[in-house]
Amino acid sequence: CYKKAMSMDASNPNAYYFLGLAYLYNKDYTNSELYLKKAMQLDDINPDIADAYKSLKLAQSEQFMNTGINLFEKNNKWIPKER
């Protein structure tokens, strides 16, 4: 439905914003960033769009950190486990 709205009015930031939120909710951070950046280009004063982008960056940071921790734990079996 948001993609249809974008095809009807490509300058509508709300369509990009809500599609970006949907991707963020589904943890598709690549597509979320694409659409949220476009929404910010079209409306750079909307605080909701800025907040959604901050939430995206926080989620990406958390995912990156968890990936690093998992790789570290997987590759460092010599670290004693807590009892």
Secondary structure of 6-27 in HEC code, one letter for each residue? HHHCCCCHHHHHHHHHHHHHCC
49, 53, 58, 61 alpha-carbon torsion, rounded to 10°? 170
36, 14 Cβ separation under 8 angstroms? no
Q: Burial of 61 by CB count in 10 Å (0-12 exposed, 13-18 middle, 19+ buried)?
A: exposed
Model confidence pTM above 0.95: no
Q: What is the residue-averaged pLDDT of the chain?
A: 87
Per-residue model confidence (pLDDT) at position 5: 60
pLDDT band per the 50, 70, 90 thresholds, residue 2: low
pLDDT surpassing 80 at residue 68 = yes
- Tell me, what amino acid is at 52? A
- pLDDT for 24-58, tens place per residue? 999 999 999 999 999 999 999 999 999 999 999 99
Please state, in angstroms and rounded to a whole number, the distance separating the CA atoms of residues 34 and 51: 15
